[in-house]
Amino acid sequence: MARKTKQQALETRQQILDAAIHCFSTRGVSSTSLSDIAIRAGVTRGAIYWHFKNKIDILNEIWLQSDECLDKLELEYQNQYPDDPMAQIRALLVSLLQSTVRDSSRRALMEIIFHKCEFVGEMETFQKIQQDMLLECYPKIESTLNKCIAAGQLPEKLNTRQAAIMMRSYISGLMENWLFTPTGFDLENDAGPLVDAFMDMLRLSPVLRK
């Protein structure tokens, strides 16, 4: 019975998260209430408060789940290309871009972050969380770039911090622009060439040397 109750709780929690993604992406975060999410999920407000403190807590959990999926994907490519860190980076970046098109949940989350979230009032807390996560990602990217340098795939004098900033900005910019105007370019099919162009810049740009 306890196992069944735990499973039911997990299912209810995911229902709430799925409902929140739908509401946030269609109405915007500030215009969505917990009652809206409860109605969409088919649960009571009390059920929401059992699992989450507030909207920020829900939105943060949605983002963390997305990050967990990316961590699993990164590990998958590390296993697939154990001696080729550049191939790992390329595969992950291409997957990130293509999943924005193919994965409805991922697409909705990106729409929320880029276009449906006002970082004012209570959402300033979520903004701070996002800022901290952004700063934490740069050393992680640099670590991977350093592996590429050690493998002789990138220049020894590559400015890894600038490269990390540019990589994050480039990929985020492509996703944000495509989400704003999906007919502007074919993100799914052009993901490979767009990533390859960036990789060429890392290899060849003299400006990115220390």
Measured CA to CA, the distance from residue 33 to residue 27 in angstroms comes to 10
Dihedral through CA 132, CA 136, CA 137, CA 143, nearest 10? 170
Distances (CA, A) of 154 to 91, 186, 209: 17, 28, 11
* Mean pLDDT, the chain cut into blocks of 10 residues (210 residues total): 69 92 88 92 92 89 81 90 96 94 87 80 73 81 96 96 95 94 96 97 93
Token output for 191: 């993901």
Measured CA to CA, the distance from residue 50 to residue 79 in angstroms comes to 39
Q: What is the pLDDT of residue 4?
A: 52
Name the DSSP letter for residue 84: -
Q: What is the pLDDT of residue 208?
A: 93
For residues 20 and 47, the answer to whether their CB atoms sit within 8 Å is no
Q: What is the pLDDT of residue 3?
A: 52
Q: What is the pLDDT of residue 105?
A: 83
Burial of 4 (0-12, 13-18, 19+ CB in 10 A): exposed
Dihedral through CA 156, CA 161, CA 163, CA 168, nearest 10? 150
Measured CA to CA, the distance from residue 7 to residue 210 in angstroms comes to 53
Token output for 127: 């903004």
User: How many Cα atoms are found within 13 Å in the side-chain-facing hemisphere of 2?
Assistant: 0
Q: What is the pLDDT of residue 114?
A: 84
Q: What is the pLDDT of residue 70?
A: 80
